[in-house]
Structure 1
Amino acid sequence: MPIEKIAFPGHDGQTLAARLDRPPGRPRAYALFTHCFTCSKDLAAVRRIAAALADSGIAVLRFDFTGLGHSQGEFANTSFTTNVADLVCAADHMRATLEAPAILIGHSLGGAATIAAAGRIPEAKAVVTIGAPSEPAHVTHNLGASLETIEREGSARVSLAGRDFTITRDFVEDVREASLRAALADLRKALLVLHAPRDETVGIENASAIFLAAKHPKSFVTLDDADHLLTRAEDAEYAASVIAAWSSRYLPPLPPEKTAAGHEGVVRVSEDSPLGLLQHVSVDGRYPLIADEPRALGGSELGPTPYQYLSVALGACTAMTLRMYARRKKLALESVVVDVGHDKVHAADSADAEAGSHRRADRFVRRLRLTGDLTPAERARLVEIADMCPVHRTLEHASVIETVEEREDE
């Protein structure tokens, strides 16, 4: 299943809610994703990054801290220390039921908690922070004028991102006492710092402090003009692609799984958000791709359209078929370029249309550019061979498509 519901006990025994984004095939590794202050595992950026990493072969567990999202408990009774403890509980649960996380990812204050907890998760090889503060006490900047009330009266209701939370004096004192300097100096894991220079919530100077305090191997990648929550889909996509590429250096290679004869693996397509048309695409957990539609049709134009992918299949199969034929016949074919266009035409314009029909048919126009010392007869034969490519034949003839619903609770 693409996403599994998971529950496990947190630091005080309360049940914490989690989601596991799985790749279609066997995971290359597992990652643990920790959300930002007062956010949840279902924040758009968290969902997008987890889905994209799953498409690259990395299974991602994302969970809600105690008192947030779908997790039990009272947020007012939590602190930075309890967040770190919840994170360790999540890693313990993964170790016992799945596999210990090899990658730890934390967003904002979740990034600080990830650094603090990393030493207690020995299997983790890599740590990623996204817009993280260099010290947990930075979060008190979000409390504004309420901070004085909290210190004087012991607690206060604070509005954060349009929601009200009770923040206590214990929470404030805890984040002030917490420090990441020792944890960073003794991290002993690869570190990737992702931060946006224009982040107005956690300034870029925090990324510099984290980077300088850590020892190598360490990397820093800017998120350009992204906002703190990575609300734009393209910013989350970029962050995920960087994490996937960077972390691959620290992960063992995944041997290809054997598939049944004639079976080419599972192509998984999962939507990014019900608000748009962007789709995440992978084949057996590898080759992460995206598909989209033009803005005029409600998409965001971040990737090829489904019909363009059909054209890709036809063009690629044609080029491969011609190359294999040329090798077998020892032809002097130096290079092959295939341009494929697609449109809709009235069926009456196609060769197999019935007279007077008004239905529309799909037309693929394929143009070949063949270079090499080829005779006219060889060129003519290569054009004939192009029509024999398997995808060409599939498009020309009817296919059998079976649709089966898989329920999340099955």
Structure 2
Amino acid sequence: MGFEKVTFTNSQGKQLAARLEMPTNQEAHSYAIFAHCFTCNKNFSAVRNISRALVSRGIAVLRFDFTGLGESEGEFEETNFSSNVSDLIEAAKFLEQNYKAPSLLVGHSLGGAAVIFAASQLDAVVAVTTIGAPSSPAHVQHLFKSNVDEINTMGKAKVNIGGRDFTIKKDFIDDIQSQPMKEVLKNMRKPYLVIHSPQDTIVGIENAKELYQYAHHPKSFISIDKADHLLMDNEDSTYVGNVIAGWAERYLDIPKRQSVKTTHQVAVSIGNEGFTSEIVSGNHLLIADEPKDFGGNDFGPSPYDYVSSGLGACTAMTLRMYASRKKWDLQKVIVHVDHGKEHAPDSENTSAVKKIDTFKRKIELYGDLNSEQRKRLLEIADKCPVHKTLSTESSIITELI
């Protein structure tokens, strides 16, 4: 997975810090924005895990710090729910102008409420997911319930949330109490996935029921049993990410890969951009590329990496076959291969440009094997078919069809 640190400007001219995570083995077919929970930030563990699960399925994810949080500019006390929604709108504009408009919005807790409001204003968004979200933005008020009177009287108060002090202004309370979640969600009319834990003690499960009832079909509900509100268990957040990715694929515009048809053992196709190549071998589809240093995208192994892989795989299989026939206790084989160009051993003139392809192979053998058995297995490694192919002269016959 590759990532890029980026910034974009919110409606107040403040720079918001973001992280754009991209698939490493393919072009992103879709873009998503993740909105974190109230007073959290883009680097929260659950946010990372969910984003990585989406990225692994070809969905690029932009996660950012709302105004006044994390690495973003601005003062938190000057923000409210409406400004969070505005930040999401600006994040979507940033993606559309520099990459591709987001088609999926994912929000956790109050961030979930925010993505519902943002999605209603973003035509490009085709699917929305909320995780542990309240059915009303005003629900967040319970986090500073004991300070509400002071806020209403003094206009603001310092409250402690999650062990950190934040200043909450009356404008914030007025704003969250005025948000018409039911009407917005009823009018959203986009595929919607509600994810919630029955054991959520911060945002009760009744919120998920209300959100589901407000929304129109197609809508789905997933219960993440035994999970806490913040998804502190990595297994829970990774599971959630995989569920979202699988659900969203039904609604995202994912180009169908047109694999080359062949009656031969292997076929390789390449377009007119870059070096990324598609390999069809029987029922298997592989990707080859060149490293970025060589002008490629590094979406897959290089051609020589595949040659080295063939040698390593053939060596391991040959040793496995031989040990099984001998009924030796070979539990595991690991073959390491490096490829390079070196001067031929019989070349007297080292200044000459005569070099040969050299494969350096190192083998790890695991099991209850004596020294004689290990020595014999090392000899057998040289007898693997690919080893013989690489070490003897071959013939390549080429024709146009």
TM-score by length of 2: 0.69
2:366 aligns to what SS in structure 1?
strand
Residues in 2 aligned to 1:245 and 1:6: alpha-carbon distance in whole angstroms? 27
- Please state how far the C-alpha of 1:347 moved relative to its aligned partner: 6.9
Distance of 1:242 and 1:260 partners within structure 2: 30
Structure 2 residue matching 1:70: 3-state secondary structure: coil
1:205-240 alpha-carbon deviations (Å, 9 max, x no partner):
000000000000000000111111111110011101
| Structure 1 counterpart of 2:143, one-letter code | N
**Cα deviation, residue 39, structure 1:** 0.3
In 2: Cα distance, 1:266 partner to 1:284 partner: 7
Q: Does the residue aligned with 1:243 lie in a helix, a strand or coil?
A: helix
Residue-pair matches, total? 304
- 2:222 maps to 1:200: no
Residue equivalent to 2:28 = 27
Secondary structure at the counterpart of residue 145 of structure 1:
helix
What is the CA-CA distance between 1:247 and the residue it aligns to?
Answer: 0.3
Q: Give the drift of 1:56.
A: 1.1
Q: What is the correspondence of 1:254-265 to structure 2 with a 5 Å cutoff?
A: 254-256=255-257, 258=270, 259-260=276-277, 264-265=286-287
- Higher gyration radius (CA): 2
Secondary structure at the aligned position of 1:117 is classed as helix
The correspondence of residues 159-170 of structure 1 with structure 2, limited to 5 A, is 159-170=160-171
Extract unaligned runs of 5+ from structure 1.
268-282, 286-309, 323-339, 355-359, 362-386, 398-410
Structure 2 CA distance for aligned equivalents of residues 94 and 16 of structure 1: 13
Matched with 2:306 is none
Deviation readout 1:121-172 (Å, 9 max, x if unpaired): 1011100000000000000011131122111211111111111100111101
1:4 aligns with 2:4: yes
Q: Note the C-alpha offset of 1:252.
A: 2.1
Residue 346 of structure 1, CA deviation: 7.0
Mean CA deviation greater in 153-162 or 36-45: 153-162
Q: CA deviation at 1:198?
A: 0.4
Cα displacement string for residues 26-82 of structure 1 (whole angstroms, at most 9, x for unaligned residues): 012100110010000110000111111111111000011000010000000000010
Paired with 2:277 and 2:139, the residues of 1 have a C-alpha distance of: 54
- Give the equivalent residue in structure 1 for 2:344: none
The residue matched to 2:157 in structure 1 has which SS? strand
Call closer, same or farther: CA 1:237–1:350 in 2, change over 3 Å. Answer: farther
CA distance in 1 between partners of 2:40 and 2:371 (Å):
56
Q: Does 2:54 correspond to 1:53?
A: yes
How do residues 86-97 of structure 1 correspond to structure 2 at under 5 angstroms? 86-97=87-98
Give how far 1:345 is off.
Answer: 3.8
Is 2:134–2:208's contact at 8 Å kept on the other side of the alignment?
A: yes
Tell me the equivalent position of 1:13.
13
CA–CA distance in 2 between the matches of 1:350 and 1:11? 74
Answering whether residue 178 of structure 2 is matched by residue 156 of structure 1, we say no
Aligned residue in 1 for 2:227: 226
Displacement, 1:352? 4.8
Q: CA deviation at 1:253?
A: 2.7
SS in 1 for 2:66: coil
Inter-CA distance 341–101: structure 2 relative to 1 (3 Å threshold): farther
Letter of the 2:83 counterpart: T
Indicate the residue corresponding to 1:141 in structure 2. 142
The answer to whether the Cα contact below 8 Å between 1:16 and 1:65 also exists between their aligned partners in 2 is yes
Residues 37 and 182 of structure 1, relative CA distance in 2, 3 Å threshold: same
Alignment of 1:252-331 (within 5 A): 252-256=253-257, 258=270, 259-260=276-277, 264-265=286-287
2:76 and 2:106 mapped to 1: Cα distance? 22
Query: CA 1:13 to 1:46, structure 2 compared with 1: closer, same or farther past 3 Å?
Result: same
| In structure 1, C-alpha distance between the alignment counterparts of 2:10 and 2:278, rounded to whole Å | 45
Q: Matches of 1:155 and 1:45 in 2, distance apart? A: 31
Q: Structure 1: how far apart are the matches of 2:169 and 2:254? A: 47
Task: Decide whether the 8 Å contact of 2:113 with 2:134 is kept in 1.
Answer: yes
The separation in 1 between residues aligned to 2:47 and 2:17, in whole angstroms, is 15
SS of the residue corresponding to residue 21 of structure 1 reads strand
1:310-345 residue CA offsets vs partner (Å, 9 max, x unmatched): 9xx979x97xxx9xxxxxxxxxxxxxxxxx952724
CA distance in 1 between partners of 2:279 and 2:83 (Å): 52
TM alignment of 1:63-78, pairs within 5 A? 63-78=64-79
**Native 8 Å contact 1:66 1:73 kept in 2:** yes
Paired residue type of 1:163: R
Q: Secondary structure at the residue paired with 1:174?
A: helix
> Is the partner of 1:67 in helix, strand or coil?
coil
Instruction: Tell me which residue corresponds to 2:366.
Output: 344
The alpha-carbon distance between structure 1 residues 149 and 134, as it changes in their structure 2 partners (threshold 3 A), is same
| Alpha-carbon offset, residue 260 of structure 1 | 3.7
Amino acid at match of 2:186: A
TM-score normalized with structure 1 length? 0.68
**Greater RCO structure (CA 8 Å; 6+ sep):** 1
Cα separation, 1, equivalents of 2:40 and 2:21: 18
Indicate the SS of the match to 1:186. Answer: helix
1:171 corresponding residue in structure 2: 172
The answer on 1:217 being equivalent to 2:218 is yes
- What CA deviation, in whole Å up to 9, does each residue of 1:3-32 have, x standing for no partner? 110100012110000001100110121001
Displacement after TM superposition at 1:353 (Å):
2.4
Q: 1:82 to 1:348 in 2, by over 3 A?
A: same
- Map of 2:327 onto structure 1: none
Residues 31 and 102 in structure 1, CA contact (< 8 A), matched pair in contact too: yes
One-letter amino acid of the counterpart of residue 210, structure 2: A
Percent identity for Structure 1 against Structure 2:
43
CA contact (8 A) 1:347 1:353 kept: no
For the residue of structure 2 that corresponds to 1:250, the secondary structure is coil
Is contact 1:6-1:17 (8 Å) kept?
yes
Q: Compute the RMSD of aligned alpha carbons.
A: 3.3
Classify the secondary structure of the residue corresponding to 1:249: coil
